[in-house]
Amino acid sequence: MIRQYLSPIAMSVGASLLIVLLSAVPYAIYNYRKRGQVPVKRTLVGYSFIWYLVAAYFLVILPLPSRESVEALNTPFYNLEPFIFVEHFLRYSGIDFSDPRTFPAAFLQPTAYTVYFNLILTIPLGVYLRKYFGFNFFKTLLAGFLLSLFFELTQLTGLYGVYPRPYRIFNVDDLIINTIGAVVGFFVAPLFKGWTPEMEKEEIFEEIKEVTIPRRLLAFGVDVVIITGLFFPARILMEFLFLGNLGGGGFSFTIAFLLSAVYFIGTTLALKKQTLGMALVKINVYPSEGKPFSRGRMIFRHLLFLLWFPGPLALLEVTGAGEPYISFLFLGVFVIMGTGALHIGLSLTRRERRLFYERISKTCVKSLN
């Protein structure tokens, strides 16, 4: 009985993760621009709602039969007689109300557990609609009915024409029971105390005191994507002008270093203290410790970062040193980059999260929200 539901649930996890991956960056950018931070609790609950909807849909349509087996079916397309499940239960479950010993087996028959399934399927919907979206009773009732109707029409149309006829019937009883399940969820929703009142309305955010590491990483990631898109045109131009065939036709850290320097320094000066990625998530570079703003300070900041990466790799690429000097040079590069990476990793756990190139250049990052 349970195994037939495990496969759709497992598949829904993978589909939900794909949705999360595709939507995470746009969702984060939207929240950083609007609020300056991503609401963690609301986000987790929201993505759990997506997983619930995907799981419910998969439970309704899976397992998918072959087209040949569907073409051979001669079952009816629909049932419009309400509460026929009661008649089927009394007729086929083997229940004898005068003999309680028949109850356990009767309530484990398909005529019974399909009703439980349809009821349980939409109880979470009622909980989400009331606690997360703030729906009242009538909106929840309507939403439960419409979701159930969507499921039944999916079955009636043979998965929107994929199959020549329905492989599961349109059942008015399912429509009724699913709707009742949503209503039940609405009434049991107050039992979920972990969902704070702010979840029902616009979440209240504290004043933004610092720019978080995830926000900075998102800005940096956008900048890296832009630089990557510019790399090959820049490579062709640089090699044509004066650099020759750096990297042996492959990736060149020298070109990456020069392009990154031009991009970070140029955009920061042109956009008034921010790169394109920083502008997207609304953060700026500012001088710290009361120091006056200067272009030289901004250039110094970015050069310090680039001398950590990809500067050392560019040095390895252009050096003409042979053995054993190249081995010592490689070891030095490894130590520099490893130490910097360790510093950035440790900074994630500290209250003071200014990175080494910010401390030296006396700059910091602030939110524009």
pLDDT at residue 125, rounded to an integer: 94
Q: Is residue 94 within 8 Å of residue 109, measured between CB atoms?
A: yes
CA 217 centroid distance within chain: 16
Q: Which pLDDT belongs to residue 197?
A: 45
State the pLDDT at residue 200. Answer: 44
pLDDT in tens, 319-367: 765 566 567 777 777 787 788 778 777 776 665 567 878 888 888 888 8
Give the DSSP H or E segment for 3: helix 3-34
So what's the pLDDT on residue 183?
95
First CA to last CA across the chain, in angstroms? 53
pLDDT at residue 214, as a whole number:
84
DSSP assignment of 186-208: HHHGGG-TTS-GGGTSSPP----
pLDDT for the residue 114: 80
Name residues of the chain where pLDDT drops below 70: 1-6, 89-90, 93-94, 96, 99, 106-108, 110-111, 194-209, 239, 241-251, 289-291, 317-318, 320-326, 348-353
Residue 105 belongs to what H/E stretch? helix 103-106
